[in-house]
Every structure is written in structure tokens, then in C-alpha cells.
Amino acid sequence: MIEVQRLTRSYGDLRAVDDVSFDIGRSRVVGLLGHNGAGKTTVMKMLTGYLEPSAGDIRIDGLDIREQRREVQKRIGYLPENCPLYPEMTVIDYLEYQATLHGVPETERPAAIRETIERTDLIPKADQVIATLSRGYRQRVGVAQAILHKPTVLVLDEPTNGLDPSQIQHMRTLIRELAEGATLIISTHILQEVEAICDRVLIMRAGRLALDSQLDALSKPSRLLVSLEQPPTDVTPLLMELEPVTLIEHLGTMDGHHRYALDTADPGGTAPLVARSVSAAGWDLYGLQLEVTDLETLFGAVNEQQEATHA
């Protein structure tokens, strides 16, 4: 559905996006993350045809965006950050105008607008002037214009920006519904939103793609964490005798106990072996748990690598 190969965008000597490649299949929801200046918005602008790449290729639904830009854009819905609206127009007039721009046939516009207003929960505000709406409702209008023409690709920059908790829940439900017929790329600073609605995460760092991972892979236990009184000189020889254990890392001490991370292909299956070995040695076991890397931890680690690189 979306194929990006060696995408690059330069501004003079500055490379805002540097040799980025990824593919996204149909009906997937992908989170695009990174600190300000990491290149996220530049990638989204190139994907939607609003910015010309300096190098690289983009294909949407098999179409080359350089050669068939208008055909590609017909398939895309785009919500930029701080979506520009016409404040003097009413919601329904603005959507009528957007339907015209998107090429929705005149006979189909009333039904398309009605459905979109319902899906974005804008019915109570349909006749109001946009300037009088709260930030949250203006954000919904921005989402409405992006989905009005039933695109097969949706690029949403901060879609929950300004929404209250109940509106955020509604937006999550809408995104899941949209994913049944479209591929979504969502950029947000709220990591909980990515964990709640995305299948996969792309993390940008200094213009490059630093990580591309399925979210369910992040939740799988990676190591086994053990807390003991004994120092590494005693613990390492004992636990390395266990066949599943391939490496032991001493993580330091906490509350007077030594903490260790055990690399193993099967952390869950290794845990009872460790418990039995420690018990047989006559040691007290103060902690035994699976190490799970969440998105916040991973995002922090990726950006620590950037800081270390520039130090």
C-alpha cells in the first residue's frame, strides 16, 4: 500500500530526512514518533505530496507520487498539525467546500457530509461558525475534512490534540473503524495513544529511521531480572550453569541487593530454574521478574543514543 525507498529531503546543507525506507500494508495503523526536529512532519508532507523529496521514491497503492501526484492525493486524507480552517465558515459549509475540492460528486455530497459529521460527533456543532468552536471541536472538523472523501490512506498529525478524555476515547474508536478500510499513519507526542491504537511504530531520530517495530514485539519479555544479596563473583558462575542462560549483566545494587539481568531465549521458562538453583545454594531470592520493554522506555533509549552521539 505504502512503499518508501531511500527518502531524503535537504534544505541546503541540512538533511531533514536522511535515507528513510519502510513499507506499510493495507489496513494497518502505524505510529510515527520522534522529538521535534526529528523529521516526522517532513516525511508526512512528502507522503501527501505537499513537499518534493530531494531523493528517493514514494509509491501509494502502486502509484508513483512524482508521476501521478493528483491520483495519489485523491487516495489520501491529511490532517496537518494545527489544521488550517476557515474560521468565518460554518462547519457544514466548510465540509461542503472540502467535498468539492476532494472531487466528491455533487449528488453524493449530502450523504458524505452527513456521515462524516456523525462519525466525528459534530452533529451539535454542524451549523456553528468555526471561529466559535473550542479547540477540541476544531480538531474534529480537521479530522472530518480528512476522512470526508473516504481515502484509502490517512495521515494524521496529532489527531487528539486539544481533545478532552471522552473525546480522545471517541477518536480512538473512530481510528479503529477507519482502519477497517484504510491505512493510517499517526504522528503524536502522546505515547499512550500509540500503544492504544497502533499496530506498529516508526521512531525518527535526527532525520533517520531509528526503529521500526511491531508493538506486540515490544511487549514480549526480553530478559529475566533477579535480585540477590550475593555479588557477581558468586552469582555469575552459578547461574551460567543453567543451559538457557547465555549472558548475565550486573545492573548494580538497590536497597542493598544486587540486581542482575539474564539473557535467555525463554525468560518465563528460565524463571523456575533460577529459583530452584538459588534455593539449592541456600540464598535468599529478593526479586524474580520478566523484563518487559514498554514504548516509553524504548523511546527514551533511542533518544539517549542520539544525545550520546552528539556529546
Please tell me the predicted confidence (pLDDT) of residue 306: 54
C-alpha to C-alpha distances, 62 to 72, 75, 202, nearest whole angstrom: 9, 11, 22
The whole-angstrom separation of Cα 102 and Cα 85 is 15
| Helices 109-119 and 91-101, axial angle in degrees (round to 10) | 120
What single letter denotes the amino acid at residue 265?
A
| DSSP SS3 for 194 | helix
Grid cell of 274 as nine digits: 533460577
The whole-angstrom separation of Cα 83 and Cα 141 is 9
DSSP line for 119-187: HTT-GGGTTSBGGGS-HHHHHHHHHHHHHTT--SEEEEESTTTT--HHHHHHHHHHHHHHTTTSEEEEE
Task: Say what the pTM is.
Answer: 0.78
pLDDT at 70 over 60: yes
Q: Spell out the domains of the chain, with CATH numbers in brackets.
A: 2-218 (3.40.50.300), 223-291 (3.30.70)
pLDDT at 291 over 90: no
- Of the candidates 298, 98, 128, 305, the one whose C-alpha atom is nearest the C-alpha of residue 215 is 298
Q: Please write the tens of the pLDDT for every residue from 118-176.
A: 999 999 999 999 999 998 899 999 999 999 999 999 999 989 888 888 889 988 999 99
The whole-angstrom separation of Cα 243 and Cα 273 is 10
Q: What is the number of other CB atoms lying within 10 angstroms of the CB of residue 242?
A: 16
Percent of the chain with pLDDT strictly greater than 70: 95
pLDDT at 205 over 70: yes
Task: State the virtual CA torsion across 66, 68, 74, 78 in degrees, nearest 10.
Answer: 0
Please tell me the predicted confidence (pLDDT) of residue 303: 67
Q: What average pLDDT does range 279-307 have in this prediction? A: 80
pLDDT at 301 over 90: no
- Of the candidates 283, 239, 233, the one whose C-alpha atom is nearest the C-alpha of residue 262 is 239
Radius of gyration of the chain (CA): 25
pLDDT at 309 over 80: no
**Which residues contact residue 96 at a Cβ distance below 8 angstroms, ignoring those fewer than 6 apart?**
109, 113
Please tell me the predicted confidence (pLDDT) of residue 238: 96
Q: What average pLDDT does range 92-117 have in this prediction? A: 95
pLDDT at 299 over 80: no
Q: What average pLDDT does range 189-217 have in this prediction? A: 89
CA atoms within 13 A on the CB side of 17: 25
Please tell me the predicted confidence (pLDDT) of residue 310: 46
| DSSP SS3 for 83 | coil
Q: What average pLDDT does range 80-102 have in this prediction? A: 93
Task: Give 205's strand partners.
Answer: 208
pLDDT at 305 over 70: no
Whole-number mean pLDDT of the chain? 91
